[in-house]
Structure 1
Amino acid sequence: MGKLLIDEQPLQCQPSLAIALGGSDEAIVLQQLHYWLERSSQVRDGYRWVYNSMADWHKQFPWIKSRKTLS
């Protein structure tokens, strides 16, 4: 038996980040954005970037119903 209840890749957030941002959803979204930026090879004007449509972001965070949280 594994450590996780469901066999899928977990999303992580640090409690101190959730406190600083006012919620776990915000911390998970920011952590995931950081994850993708670290792996992105897209650079414009010296800044790394990632692109996802709002529908794509909602696929990564299906429990987040508020567009405000994702924008």
Structure 2
Amino acid sequence: MATYKNVNYLEKSSSEAFDQDHGPGATAPFAGIYRCMGCHREIGIASKHVLPPQGHHAHTQAQGSIRWRLIVYADHDPK
């Protein structure tokens, strides 16, 4: 699970971007931390880079398919 020390660096969002799952090998639409919804592994990735492929890690049948979901968005254009 992603952790943080200072809440002042994070902002709550209700964006639908956090509700979308992306398959292995898909292009990451945003920079940030993505979580595999089956096994809970997390990765950091730059925007427009390719999410890890199917063979990146194994899942049990109970974990289902590899599905990456954005959990922390890295804002490159701070206000």
**Which TM class, normalised by the smaller chain length?**
under 0.3
Bigger Rg, structure 1 or 2: 1
What is the TM-score of this pair, normalised by structure 2? 0.22
The structure showing larger relative contact order (alpha-carbon pairs under 8 Å, at least 6 residues apart) is 2
What is the TM-score of this pair, normalised by structure 1? 0.23
